[in-house]
Amino acid sequence: MLASSRGFTLIEVLVATAVFVTAVLALAQLVGFATRSDRVAHGLTLAGALAAERLEQLESVAGSAARASPPGTLDRDTPGFVDYFDDQGRWVGGGPALPVGARFVRRWAVTRLSTDPPNLLRLEAVVLPVRSHDATTATYIWAHVAGVRVGTWD
């Protein structure tokens, strides 16, 4: 006698299982990608805010007396022109030594742009992730802002 046609054949079950497993694996990869993208977006946003904040601080000082930066302050940690932040944007220290918990390095420079007008200053700030905080070997900078301001020279 013929068996009842109710139920699924072994081939149908195997195909359905393969399709299901493939869909679950693709979803798992998508979740991992979304998590990494979110982390990078958070870092870029924070880096941009930290750089813009420093530029605003420099602009407020440039109206009275700006402290000139030595050459190369955007490329290396120079005391007085560098500070460090954790992954939430909280200040964790300054100076040439990397503090514990630092995730971002912020550097800035104040340079005379020209002699006409004589008090034109270029203000710059960069933010890098700690893992690439040597800008000479870094493959990317997360934020770089610049501005020009009329101010007095210290």
Q: In terms of C-beta density within 10 A (0-12 exposed, 13-18 middle, 19 or more buried), how is residue 121 classed?
A: buried
Distance between first and last Cα of the chain: 103
Mean pLDDT for 83-87 is 91
pLDDT score at 138: 45
| pLDDT at site 117 | 67
Mean per-residue pLDDT, 5-30: 91
Q: Which of 110, 93, 111, 113 is nearest to 102 (CA)?
A: 93
Q: Residue 136: is its pLDDT beyond 50?
A: no
How do 82-85 and 104-112 pair as beta strands?
A: antiparallel
